[in-house]
Amino acid sequence: MGYQYIEGSVTAAKGFKAAGVHCGIRKNKTKRDLALITCETKCTAAAVYTTNLVQSSPITVTKKNLQNGMAQAVICNSGNANTCNADGMEKAEMMCTLTAQALGIDAGDVIVGSTGVIGQVLPIEPIRDSMAQLVSELSVDGSSDAAEAIMTTDTVAKEVAAETIIGGQVVRIGGIAKGSGMIHPNMATMLCFITTDAAISAEMLQKAVKTAADKTFNMISIDGDTSTNDTLSVMASGLAGNAEIVSEGEDYDAFLEVLTAVCKKLSQKMAKDGEGATKLLVCKVSGAKTEKDAKGVAKSVICSSLLKAAMFGADANWGRVLCAIGYAGCDVDVQKVNVSFASKAGTIAVCQNGAGIDFSEETAKTILSEDEIDILVTLGDGTGSAEAYGCDLTYEYVKINGDYRT
């Protein structure tokens, strides 16, 4: 087993092309706002979605289209979420129909996504009028344009690709994602579109997607808000030539490993690009009684607004870590808890056996002034472990969200 990250993203796998254009949903003409990903062959496909009871029309349509576990294209706009609209379903289905007509495929084989402001009617005319241009610009070099086209308040595009060997064949997985605010476990304000050339059944692909999401995207929190549009979808072309993965075993494990690696890298890119963020925070919990307890503690710590604010100020306020552990609702003996902070500037222990210890505030501040911080929590109760991803809480976050709609 094993994998390595490679250049590229959603077009790294065999059979895929992508494009992104400015169609006019956004007023800013320099910003692409419509993305398309296609495959030369019909793919097995799977997806997971937000747990919010308020769900976008694109999610409803995508769920319906993926009931047979097959897809061949993704169409996605930014600038408008197409959520809580009386004509939302009609518009989402029209996006699928327009895409299918332009590509010569079945509308039921289209995954549709939208992201942006909730409750504003999505104009279909810009999408219709730009479809010919979008299709004409499809290429294996179009992944970055597509990544840009799905961004909202993101400040950087999020792309990654990796490869591994399965059944003696090189298998590639790549993806693009968007997510910066309104992000909280289950899943986040995120859209993520992943492609692979692995041959894998729809059933096993769904299992892998759910497992990978639980360890990565469902362990992100930017601000505690779970969105209405979150979708993580994967299309598998099968063009790598490996024997189809139809059950658990060595080949499935290899696929799951590289899929999880891609999802983890995208998750970290999202967390680091949180609205107004200056730092990526990673809470690494070990020594828990169970993995469930480890996840609960890691999420609780990363979600603490007080801790996030302390990290912004490079303040080693470890008591806020203990406080978050205490209300996590997990089986923890607080008198066994150790806490350290770490970054590329070093590591410093700040709490042992649930109590404070002497440490250099100056050294701690240096460590916490880096742009990637690890919060290391050891519970001393077992072998369970987990990671959660977040960011600091800054003045800029309030500024961005104070006038997001207007």
Got the DSSP string for 285-346? EEEESSHHHHHHHHHHHHH-HHHHHHHHTT---THHHHHHHHTS-S---GGG-EEEEEETTE
Angle (CA) 258-261-267 rounded to 5° is 145
Question: Out of 54-58, 132-136, 231-235, 257-261, which region has the weakest mean confidence (pLDDT)?
Answer: 54-58
Query: How much is the average pLDDT of 58-67?
Result: 95
Task: Convert the pLDDT of each residue in 246-296 to its tens digit.
Answer: 999 999 999 999 999 999 999 888 888 777 789 999 999 999 999 999 999
pLDDT band at 365 (very low <50, low <70, confident <90, very high): very high
Q: How far is CA 305 from CA 31, 131, 261, 266, 275, in A?
A: 32, 43, 28, 23, 14
pLDDT at 204: 98
Confidence of residue 127 (pLDDT cuts 50, 70, 90): very high
- Can you give the pLDDT at residue 67? 97
Q: What percent of the chain is predicted at pLDDT more than 70?
A: 94
116 pLDDT band (50/70/90 cuts)?
Answer: confident
Q: Give the contacts of 362 (CB within 8 A, at least 6 positions apart).
A: none
Spell out the domain ranges in the chain: 3-272, 280-402
The helix (H) or strand (E) run that includes residue 238 is: none
Least confident of 34-38, 190-194, 358-362: 190-194
Per-residue model confidence (pLDDT) at position 402: 77
Residues 214 and 259 sit within 8 Å (Cβ to Cβ):
no
Min mean pLDDT across 168-177, 212-221, 394-403 is at 394-403
178 close to 191: Cβ distance less than 8 angstroms: yes
Region 206-220 average pLDDT: 92
Confidence grade of residue 99 (pLDDT, cut at 50, 70, 90):
very high
| Active-site choice (62, 83, 152, 189) | 189
Task: Say what the pLDDT of residue 188 is.
Answer: 42
pLDDT at 183 over 50: no
Q: What is the pLDDT of residues 320-329, one digit of tens each?
A: 999 999 999 9
Q: For residue range 71-94, what is the model confidence (pLDDT) as tens digits? A: 999 999 999 989 888 999 999 999
Residue 227 confidence class, pLDDT cut points 50, 70, 90: low
Task: Lowest mean pLDDT of 120-129, 143-152, 212-221, name the range.
Answer: 212-221
Q: How far apart are CA 377 and CA 307, in angstroms?
A: 14
Tell me the CB-side half-sphere exposure of residue 144, using CA atoms within 13 A. Answer: 4
**Mean pLDDT computed over every residue of the chain:** 92
- Is the per-residue pLDDT at 317 higher than 60? yes
In CATH terms, the fold of domain 280-402 is Ubiquitin-like (UB roll) (3.10.20)
189 tagged catalytic? yes
Instruction: Please check the confidence at residue 389 and state whether its pLDDT lies above 60.
Output: yes
Residue with tokens 């793919």: 43
Tell me if 3-272 shares its fold with 280-402. Answer: no
Tokens 């505030």, located at residue: 361
Indicate the CATH number for domain 3-272.
3.60.70.12
Percent of the chain with pLDDT over 90: 78
What is the rounded average pLDDT of the residues 294-303? Answer: 94
User: What is the pLDDT, as a whole number, of residue 284?
Assistant: 98
pLDDT of residue 270: 84
